[in-house]
Structure 1
Amino acid sequence: MAVPISSTVLLSPAERAAVGTDARARAPRSSHGFFEAGQGSFDPVEVIERQSATRVPELVPIRYGRMLESPFRFYRGAAAIMAADLGAVPNTGLRVQLCGDAHLLNFRLLASPERHLVFDINDFDETLPGPFEWDVKRLATNFAIAGRANGFGVREQNAVVGMCVRAYRERMRAFAGMRTLDIWYAQDDADHLQALLASSMDKKTRRRTARAAEQARTRTHLQAFAKLTRTTPEGRRIAPDPPLITPLRDLLADAADNQQEKELQTVLEEYALTLSSERRHLLHHFRLVDMARKVVGVGSVGTRCWILLLLGRNDDDPLLLQAKEAQESVLAAQTGTDRFGNQGRRVVSGQRLIQTTSDIFLGWTHVVGIDGRERDFYVRQLRDWKGIARPETMDPGLLGLFARLCGSSLARAHACSGDPIAIAAYLGAGDRFDRALTVFAQSYADRNERDFEELAAAVRSGRVTAESL
């Protein structure tokens, strides 16, 4: 039977460790190295099409076009396929709050409310409780895929994957010996991480990482404001860039436009109620002046996502919010654990649980659209000190350093929501789990390439339509 999150906290440390070692009987560490896609078990293109059925129809071809850019890009949009595969094999039962899509591009530099630069997970659309190894497997596989995309040999790919998993295992073992509050307060400050890794970097790499941190500090809401808006006779408004950014005024006829504007105003008002009182007070210093539909990401393309432009004292005092539709997690069918009636609240609750420190404007809402359908949204600032990795520019050494950061950060998130003592006991001091996941990552990278080719074949046959922008 699976062990629910935090169910072991009333046990002694020795009893909690025993829970972890007992889990080896359900899922031996070496068993994680085995993966064989069930031939004919399900059609990966059908999985993607089912997701697309609930999305904005005219945007779906853009999603397929982005997924077909490369196997690496395909993997970003294929979380539902991997969830189905992982749900079909035995698991440890050691549950944490999963990120749900532990893709390496979902780890980045972020600003804390105290204006510190931290390294953390940034995407929680699929978050749900589940077996810890599902996140680790998705992340490990992603580094194998990234290594292939960069032309690395198998040995170099395996070394990068091994660094990721080893960093996860070793940090989890460190958390197992820490006090509970010390685990909760742990964070990966960017300057501390750079100092910690300095001995592993040459002078060129140190300069590059320092430059990345400085660039992240320039990616503020004011930069986004300058890029995404323009001055009009009515004041500052969102600049159109269709189909990627389409202002509301350009989307619908006048009558429907008025109704849609009322709908989004309701989104804003009801969202405000999910903020703490002091942050709600801050939000009320701004007025909503414009909104636009925005195409985001790869896997998220086609979900309803809105940019909300709010202004404070004048046109140079902006707040940019993103209201993103939250649909059921791809993990829900595999875990059966979704206690939230509102999918936006699910995303926000998961993010607050496992992210070091969350955006001060993070909240959720629910709305009935003009088509009569009910939809959930979560809301956050559009951009605030975000630095995203560029794995395609990394050599094996730098990608390995990034893999260490991601594996370590994922362990921190899991330690906050799960039982680090039980997980650490399961993992052990040796590298058996690391070696198994290296094998798994290569096997699943093969699967990912086959699925990529199946989507390409579906486009060639006319089954689905892809659009490149």
Structure 2
Amino acid sequence: MARKRQTTATLSSRTERLAQGKAQRRKTPREAHAELKGPLTRSAVAILAESDGDRVPELVPERYKRMSLSPFAFLRGAAAVMATDLARQPMAGIAVQAGGDSHLMNFGAFVTPENNILFDVNDFDETLAGVDFTVDLKRLAASVAVAALGSDMSRKQARLIAARAVKAYRGHMAVMSKMSPLDVWHSRIDLEEQIGVIGHGGLRRKLASIIAKARDEGLARDDNFPHLAAGADPRIVDKPPTIFHLDAAADARHSIDIARMFTDYYKDLLPDRQRLLDRFVLKDSAFKAVGVGSVGTFCCVSLFITGDGEPLFLQIKQAQPSILERLDKQVRYKGNQGRRVVEGQRMMQAATDIFLGYARDAASGRDFYIRTLKNRRLGGISEISEGEALSDYAELCGRTLARAHARSGDPAIITGYMGKTGVIDEAIASFAIAYAEQTMLDHAALVTARGDQAPAKKPPGKIARKPAGKFVARKPPANR
């Protein structure tokens, strides 16, 4: 997807670009974003079912079980439903590299190679270029409203917090509209600096604790992070239903040639990354069930070991076409979907994983992206969804999303459109409340539909001590 380089003849000043953004209001008034356009005659359950055919069948019930827990859990897994609905909504006509699934829990803290602790967007499965900036912003605001209502806040309180998230986005975008492109590109959301602008004492203490632990021992590991079996033979411990080995009896559709994929992936890494990976040997691979929306798609974790037994875990995650293609048939990504994810993450994230790359499994035709397995989380929604803490956290996410959008979009044009007053804050907050109420209806419909479903089954195949079949983590060629 080659992009034509912009020439000096097409460049305009900051003042001109602010005016250009303001002019977009004539095409789409900011107030137009307030209403949830319909009719929403679609079946959310049917839209969710569209992707079931390409998932591991035995894990599909687990996906719906997770989504049934609460309206917020439903929203997390229903990105395709919201994309379908957003296709009916007004657009500002200002494109960015969109994340595609920018709800509250897809932001988080991580440590950079320079040992800085940043807060950033951390999920890019649905990322796509050329998408209106309001798509991500409405997804974020809706998730804020759903979280607030789920914490027994009033409709008025939920609307206020959603508006604050949008205001934080607008304010940070305005700051960046005055910065040079290089300064925008190098901007960061430093977690230590953010503590100073957070009013809620509990959230400040939580973030301070995360930073202290990260300085001492790295951020806390996810409960589902793989563990190594004791003994001389390095292998990943099975922990069904989230981590388990597939055996030879497993459905051939859910087997991939790990070693061959890593050989192809290795060729596209930068030479310094290749040299680092040369110090590790591939030893084992296991299937790993991941986030709510991705449960059942092919995802595994591979164990690499040094001669001294030091582990490196790389995650291989299936990349399917972005659900944002539902917005516009003209906005399609043609090529390896793993590459789409990698390019989108590099565009939006302040500091990307050094092992980020992509590959295709020739046998199955599936596309994948590969990265260091994340072992860090800021915390669950239950830990931040109380009153002022949720508001502060939502504003932090708003500023972070603005920084991510400013790298691909034009901050001056976006600022010109959004303006200096709270018109668009209030409009999108109204949309967020309306969509939160729709989400509750959709969640209830899923719970009702699940009433006729059988309980979740065990993972596919018999749990095996070693991977088998094409899923075997064979030793890569010596010359990788």
Structure 2 equivalent of residue 389 of structure 1: 379
RMSD: 2.6
Q: 1:375 deviation in Å?
A: 0.3
Partner of 1:356: 350
Distance 2:235 2:75 in 1: 35
Deviation at 1:226, TM superposition (A): 11
Q: Could you tell me how far 1:268 is from its partner in structure 2? A: 1.1
For residue 72 of structure 2, what is the aligned residue in structure 1?
72
Alignment of 1:151-190 (within 5 A): 151-190=152-191
The TM-score with structure 1 as length reference comes to 0.90
State the Cα deviation string for residues 252-283 of structure 1 (Å, max 9, x = none). 249979x957x111111111122211001111
Aligned to 1:208: 206
Q: How does 1:253-292 map to 2 (within 5 A)?
A: 253=249, 260=255, 263-292=257-286
The aligned residue for residue 35 of structure 1 is 36
1:383 Cα deviation after fit: 2.3
Q: Which amino acid aligns with 1:457?
A: T
Match of residue 328, structure 1, among 321, 333, 338? 321
Residue 235 of structure 1: CA displacement?
Answer: 1.4
In 2, Cα distance between equivalents of 1:296 and 1:25: 43
User: Does residue 467 of structure 1 match 2:460?
Assistant: no
- For 2:428, the equivalent position in structure 1 comes to 437
Assess if the C-alpha contact under 8 Å between 1:80 and 1:330 holds in 2.
yes
The residue aligned with 1:84 is 84
Higher helix share: 1
Q: CA deviation at 1:29?
A: 0.4
Following the alignment from structure 1 to structure 2, what is the Cα–Cα distance between the partners of residues 255 and 466?
20
Name the stretch that deviates more: 386-395 or 327-336.
386-395
Deviates more, 1:22-31 or 1:386-395: 386-395
Alpha carbons 2:98, 2:128 under 8 Å: kept = yes
- Give structure 2 stretches of 5+ with no counterpart: 459-480
Say whether the 8 Å CA contact 1:35–1:443 is kept in structure 2: yes
8-17 or 235-244, which deviates more: 8-17
Judge conservation of contact 1:110–1:118 (CA < 8 Å) in 2. yes
- The 3 A distance-change label for structure 1 pair 354 and 201 is same
Contact 2:222-2:377 within 8 A present in 1 as well? no
My pick for the range that moved more, 239-248 or 55-64, is 239-248
Q: Deviations over 1:415-462 (max 9, x none)?
A: 1110111000000000000000111010000111111111122222x3
Aligned to 1:235: 233
Greater CA drift, 21-30 or 300-309 = 21-30
- Give the Cα–Cα distance (whole angstroms) in 1 for the partners of residues 401 and 89 of structure 2: 22
Question: Paired residue for 2:370, among 376, 379, 385?
Answer: 379
Residue deviations 1:94-150 (CA, integer Å, cap 9, x gap): 000001000111110011121211000000000002000010000001011001111
In structure 2, do the counterparts of structure 1 residues 196 and 281 end up closer, same or farther at CA, with 3 Å as the change threshold? same
2:248 pairs with 1:252: yes
Q: Which one-letter code corresponds to 1:325 in the other structure?
A: Q
- The 8 Å contact of residues 282 and 303 in structure 2, kept in 1 or not, is answered as yes
Match of 1:421 among 412, 423, 430: 412
TM-aligned CA distance change 1:465 to 1:272, over 3 Å? farther
Aligned equivalent of 1:453 = 444
Count of paired positions: 451
Distance 1:280 1:217 in 2: 27
**Structure 2 SS opposite 1:319:** strand
